[in-house]
Each structure stands twice: as C-alpha cells, then as structure tokens.
Amino acid sequence: MNQKQLIFISFLMFAFSTMANAQKMELGKVTLAELEEKSHPKDPSAPAAILFKKGISKFDYTQSDGFTMITTVKTKIKIYKKEGFDWANQKVWYRLQSNVKENVFFSDAVTYNLVDGKIVKTKLKNEGEFDEKLTRYIGEKKITMPAVKEGSIIEFEYEIKSPVIGKIRDWDFQATIPVNYSEFKTFIPEYFIYRVNQKGYLFPKASVEKLERSIMYTYREQAKPGDITIGGGSQENLKFSETKTTYIAENLPALRDENFVNNIENYMATISHELSMVKYPNVPLKNYSTDWESVTKTIYDNDDFGIELNKTGYFENALKTLTEGLKTQPEIVAAILNYVKTNVKWDNYYGYSCNDGVKNAYKTKTGNVAEINLMLVAMLRYAGINANPVLISTRSNGISFFPNRTAFNYVIAAIENPNGVTLLDATEKFSQPDILPLRDLNWIGRLIRKDGTSKEIELIPKKPSKEIIFMNGTINPEGFVTGKIRKQYTDYEALQFRQQYVSVNQEIYQENQESKHHIEISEYQRDNDQDIAKPVVENFSFKSTNEVENINGKIYISPMLFLRMKENPFKQEVREYPVDFGYPTQSKYNLTLEIPDGYKIQTLPAAANIITADEFGAFKYIIGSTGNKIQITITSDINTAILPADYYAVLKDYFQKMYDKENEKIVLIKA
C-alpha cells in the first residue's frame, strides 16, 4: 500500500469519526452503548449527566414585528440513579407582559429505555406538559418526561420566541451534574452590538465567523397628504452581514454545592449578552451602553417606582396618629417599620416594580416587595426622615457583573444619617433596622435619591451576631450528666432562630432538640421570641446519657458535652468558591461542671488561643478548676462574613483545630 493510499484511508477514517461524533450530537441518535452505561466514566457518583446541550440564538425578521429573537435548545441527558430523576422535570421561564410577551414550545421530547436488549421509545404526551403563571410578569412552561428509570436517556427540544432583543438568554455551560458537551451559537446582525460577559472558573472556546444574509421586505413610498394609496409597494432585498459566534465546552465537571456558599450559580460557567448599541442604516446610532447611575435613574423614573413614592394621601392620617408624641428618630423609625410589617403582608413576589400600587397594597393589606418597601420609604419621608429606596439582587438571584436593569430583583429602604446608613426591610416579620432577611445580604445594593443620584451600599453586616450559652452540669459516675442551660441569641442569630422556630409547637421543638443532641429536656422556657427588640432566651434542664465514658474506673468526658463541634464543616481538599458565613458571629460558652464525690481530676485539656492570619477567626479556650468544679470559658469569633477561596486552607485548618480542642477529654480518677 503506497503513501497516497495510506493518506486517503486516514482521511476516510477521520471523516467517518467526525460523522459519527456529529450523529451523536443530534436528537434521536441513541445507541445501545449509551443505554448500557451504568455510571459516568469520569464521575461515577453522578446521578445523571448531560450528554450534550446545544443552543442557538438568532434573529428573525418580519415586516410587522421587525427583528425578534429565536432561541432553540436541544438537550440529551443520561439518568444513572434514582437521585437523578429530577432531571426528567424540565422548565423554561418566559415573559408574560403584553408588550414583551414570549412564547415557549417544547418538541421532540422522548425517553429511551433498554428493554430485553432493544431500544424502546416513549414520547411525551400532552398531560406531561404544564404551563404556570409564577408572577404577574413571569410564566413557566414545564414538562415531566415519561417512563423514566435508572439507565434512561431523555432528550427534548424547546424554542423561545421573544420580541426582547435587549438581552440574549444566558447560557449555562455547567450544571450540578457533569456536562459532556455544551455548545452555544449566536447569529447577530451587524445592526446590534452586544456586551459579552463570562463568569465562573471554566471558559469555553470561542470561534467567530462573518456571514452574509439578506431579508425581503415590502417598500412603500410614504404618501403625501391628499394622495390615495392603492395596494402594492415593491419587494426589496436588504443585504447585511451577520456575526456567527460558536462557544464550545467539553467534559465539564459537576458544579457541586458546598457549605457556606452564597449562591452556587454565581460560580457557574455562564455567558451573558447585554445590548450595548443599535446602528440601523440611515438612522442615528442609539447607545445602550450605560453605567449604574443611568440604570438606577431609569428605574426611579419608572411609573411603577418613583411615582409610587410620591403618593401619601392614603396613609397621612394614620401616620400622624402613629407618630404623635414620639420624639427621637429611632422611636419614629421603629414605629413606622412595625406599622408596615403589621398591616401589609408580603405576597412573596420579588421585583422592584409595583404590581397594583402602594395604595392598593395598603387597602388590601397585601403587596409585593416594591409596594411594601416603597410604602415604607414614603412614610419615613413624610415623617421628616431622610429615607430612600435601595435596589438589590437577592442571594438567589446572584450577582450581575455589568450595569443593567435585570441586575436587580428586590428593593429595600435606607435612612441616611451623618453616622452612616440604616437599612430596613418590612417584608420580614422579625426584621429590625439593620437586621435584614438573609436573602438581602448579597454583597452590594444601589441607593437612589430623589434627585436621581445614586451610591453603592454595602449590605454585609459588620457587627457580630452572638450566641451566648451558660451551662451548669453535674457528672454522675453511673454515666450521665444533668444540668441547666441558658442560651441567648442576638441580632441575626435571633432572627434566624425566630424564623425557624417561633411557628413550631414548643413540644415538637423540644422533641427535635432531644433527638438532635441525644438528651432529655425538661422545664423548657423561652423568652422574647416575639419581642424583637430583645435577645431570644432559652432556659431548660437536661439529662445527657451519651457524653460520659467509664473505662477501668476512669471517667472520660468532653467539657462542652453535646455543645461541642461534631465535625469539621470544611471537608474538601481544595475550594474554588468564596466562603460565605452570611454575617460575622461570636459564640461564647460559660460552662461549669461538678465532678462526682469520690473522684478527682487527673487530666484537664490545655488552654488554647488560636488566631488566624488577618484575624478573620479567633478561638480562645480557658479551663480551670476550683474544688470539685471545673470552669470552662470558650469564645469563638468569625469576624468576616465572606472569605475568598484563597483562605480556604487556613480556614479548614482553623476549624480542625477548634474541632480537636472541643473534643478533648477531661479525665477523672477515683480519689
């Protein structure tokens, strides 16, 4: 065989391989090997994997509607385990407003299974497709794939038709399961310039190609006054260039959530497109490139925002009565905040625009975020307080990396004083000034003043929230400890406690605590759970039977008993994401243990003082004894709410040292 023949055969083999791969990337091309695969080759623990996901966003043109955007997505998913069945439920959101109404269509939705060695197809029927209105502005089209079991392959296609060209749908290359292949193509006419942004730690390969395109339209000369136009017009062919950009990423690992992550989607490999400029032929260039000042001013000038702040007639009489006799600003602020929280219930709808307006919300006693917190701002202003709205993006909404109106999905209130800014949110029953719902604590917000100016507001608290515990216990040589505990929670620790437990029956709560700590609880009492101006306080007696080890006549016991750290929350060897504690904390323990008669102390743990680099963490452990009592004082501080991933190794080591120290034993021997 000569060299030319070898080259020709090699070319044929390459072409065949390319064709085979291309076939796998199309819907309907499911193989026996794919169905027989029991686990993902690179991640055996994965419950499912995206075999491929391919999307195209392009522009369509009609004479009546102009340019509209068509986005088509084809996806093929392999289900390995029962835990992956959720991937058989797919959903796509769309806009509902009449002026920007979008349409979503699912098609080619099929489940493939291997039955007696043969490939069996089950198509999605009408009863597996659902349409739901989520809010006044957003709907959701959903499908539930049929006949899904371990080993199934599902595939589907959907199309989004949208008149909105200001933003191309974001494309997520990663998912919480492995992604074998992800491809996204955009076809953008020369008239539109988009700002492209990528986030995450993995970046796709991109290739750009210039194409020629043409569209047919009917040209009608504009009639002069008095002329009669009959039919017609001429068919014209408009030629223009189009930029085709292809983004490809392969073998992407699962994006795994970790402890203390704000929103894992902030770190997902994603590409975004925001309209920057429009330049039609013979028309002045329209620049959409903007800054945060322009974005916030546009929002403030919106009828559903700024105008609502100027409405006061509906509350004036009530407010005069409410604030009568109050002299200090904190008193007035507390009274108005409590009034709004008590009289208007949040309907759980997010957004910075009012739905039915503040007056209707006041009347019906129900409103969305904007209606409640803009009402709060208006009342504070009417009372003579320098209050303004603050636009934010909640933790679930993620972080936007460039100025745009969709960056925000929530609004709170702020009071500007010479000493700083006080933040308020009246949607949360247990909130206080500067104690916001955890959903609000997402890096930064944007305060907008009446004159249209704005400034960046940091949302992360600086003051530590505290958990303070007093315990007196008595060690019994028969293997148990009895005693009393007093717990006190302040600020965000109190808010979290109230949100989780106030609505829970105390008997059920007590049973849950007994099960969690393996103790018996009696004489349980709780104070201030409804009085948000005071710390939450718990008092109870306990009996613990799991904390004492009696070996060869010696008693071994951890001085923190069931309050000690059970494990290091940071287990990964490396971490790619910042560590987000939400807010700074301080935990303080004052513990006293009485040793049993006939015993003495053989060994006490050594004192410890652990401080991290940059002092973001500090742990102090003091222990001593007087007579038959052992006193322990422990203070643990996390001084920074968010730590970069660079600090992860230090943080992990710090928590491991805390864990080791808290689990050291006191050793008692017979006297």
pLDDT confidence band for 259 (50 / 70 / 90): confident
pTM, rounded to two decimals: 0.83
For residue 224, is pLDDT > 80? no
By the 8 A CB rule, do 400 and 416 touch?
A: no
For domain 465-670, the question of CATH label 2.40.110.10 is answered with no
Determine which of 287-291, 559-563, 641-645 has the lowest per-residue pLDDT on average.
287-291
pLDDT higher at 3 or 613: 613
For domain 31-222+230-287, the question of CATH label 1.10.10.10 is answered with no
**Measured between alpha carbons, how far is 233 from 215 in angstroms, rounded to an integer?**
16
pLDDT at 228: 47
pLDDT at 465: 98
Mean pLDDT of the chain: 91
CA-to-CA dists, residue 318 to 54, 332, 374, 414, angstroms: 58, 13, 17, 22
**Measured between alpha carbons, how far is 207 from 239 in angstroms, rounded to an integer?**
23
pLDDT higher at 135 or 463: 463
**Measured between alpha carbons, how far is 29 from 134 in angstroms, rounded to an integer?**
35
Give, for 659, the enclosing helix (H) or strand (E): helix 648-662
CATH number of 292-458: 3.10.620.30
pLDDT at 289: 63
pLDDT digits (tens, 9 = 90+) for 346-388: 999 999 999 899 999 999 999 999 999 999 999 999 999 999 9
Q: How far is CA 77 from the centre of its chain?
A: 24
Q: Could you please report the per-residue DSSP string of 251-271?
A: EEPP----TT-S-GGGGS-EE
pLDDT at 12: 36
Tell me the CB-side half-sphere exposure of residue 494, using CA atoms within 13 A: 27
For residue 227, is pLDDT > 80? no
What would the mean pLDDT of 437-465 be, rounded to a whole number?
A: 93
pLDDT digits (tens, 9 = 90+) for 479-534: 899 999 999 999 999 999 999 999 999 999 999 999 999 999 999 999 999 999 99
pLDDT digits (tens, 9 = 90+) for 526-554: 999 999 999 999 999 999 999 999 999 89
Q: Where are the domains of the chain?
A: 31-222+230-287, 292-458, 465-670
pLDDT at 232: 56
Q: Which residue is it, tokens 């089209």?
A: 141
DSSP assigned state of 585: E
For the chain, the maximum distance between any two Cα atoms, rounded to a whole number of angstroms, is 118
CA-to-CA dists, residue 623 to 480, 500, 595, angstroms: 21, 33, 14
pLDDT digits (tens, 9 = 90+) for 289-345: 678 888 888 888 888 999 999 999 999 999 999 999 999 999 999 999 999 999 999
Structure tokens at 321: 């009565």
**Measured between alpha carbons, how far is 284 from 443 in angstroms, rounded to an integer?**
38
Query: Helix, strand or coil for residue 50?
Result: strand
What would the mean pLDDT of 276-281 be, rounded to a whole number?
A: 90
What would the mean pLDDT of 97-115 be, rounded to a whole number?
A: 94
How would you classify the pairing of strands 270-278 and 192-199? antiparallel
Structure tokens at 157: 């296609």
Question: 158 burial class (0-12, 13-18, 19+ CB within 10 angstroms)?
Answer: buried
For residue 10, is pLDDT > 60? no
**Measured between alpha carbons, how far is 548 from 664 in angstroms, rounded to an integer?**
13
Query: Helix, strand or coil for residue 610?
Result: strand
pLDDT digits (tens, 9 = 90+) for 630-644: 999 999 999 999 999
Helix axes 329-343 and 316-323, enclosed angle (nearest 10): 130
For residue 101, is pLDDT > 90? yes
pLDDT at 405: 76
pLDDT at 216: 82
Q: Is 658 left (phi over 0), alpha (psi -120 to 50) or beta?
A: alpha
Q: What are the two backbone dihedrals, phi and then psi, of residue 462, each rounded to the nearest 5 degrees?
A: -105, -30
For residue 78, is pLDDT > 50? yes
pLDDT confidence band for 430 (50 / 70 / 90): very high
